[in-house]
Amino acid sequence: MPKAGTKPIRVSYLGPEATFTHEAALRHFGKEAEYLPADSIAAIFDEVEVGRADRGVVPVENALEGTVNVTLDRLVDSPLVIAGEVRLPIDIHLLTKAEGMRDIRRVLSHPHAVAQCRRWLQKHLPGVAVEEVASTSRAAREASLDPSLAALGSRMAAGHYGLKVLAEKLDTESINVTRFFVLAKEPVPKKGRARTSLLFVVKNEPGSLYRAMGPIAGAGVNMTKIESRPSRRKAWDYVFFMDVEGHAGEPPLAGCLECLRGEVEYLRVLGSYPAEE
């Protein structure tokens, strides 16, 4: 496991303890790291940028709910690089201290978890109030204090807060996976199969995006994702984010990126890192 000097590596994650982001961080770094919960995604970037943490773990997309826009927006201006990724299968359970579902008066969870479990809730807990809170872990913490409450959350949260799993896998979609980025100040050495993330701004002229795609297709590089976000610098100006297979320092991607630089107004490689399936 990576070390910062002689001390355990310090990892900032979206807290409190027992969130899915905490679980992703543990999966990537193991139990020996020092984990530092942060209140927001922006705070995770700040902690790594100023050196209070060596790494940051932030959610970037969910297979059902889509992109975490605040993460992409912060990547535009941050000097940090992407040093890894974690793909975490998300199983959401009903957590409570109640004896049975008939004793539950209110269900709490993060908005994404509520959306993913809405059909189950309507079928099995009709008429029970549902309240959205900042995280699945915060919901579990509140449910641990009141047996009339239940939380939608993970087994990790159940164990951490002493709750029973009253019903399992409420989100029946098999593709519920969340992807996380590992943030660092410096790139990581190449190890195994690589994925590269980059951002670019196209020229303000007809056909500019089409021409930008030319070097990618011509080099036979597999593009696994592309999407745009407003640049927030002027109206109708967009930044494109792209994931491709391969390492930015090796062919064919290295040559492809050189050609791409000539076709766009701005290009920045956000990081090349070990790909996780």
Catalytic positions? 178, 180
**How long, in residues, is the chain?**
277
Measured between alpha carbons, how far is 48 from 26 in angstroms, rounded to an integer?
17
Let me know: does 57 contact 246? Beta carbons within 8 Å. no
Interhelix angle for 208-218 vs 253-261, to 10°? 160
82 closest CA partner among 227, 233, 197:
197
Measured between alpha carbons, how far is 161 from 142 in angstroms, rounded to an integer?
9
Give the residue carrying structure tokens 């290009």. 267
| Bridging pattern class, strands 10-14 and 34-38 | parallel
Contacts of 214 (CB under 8 A, 6+ apart): 259, 263
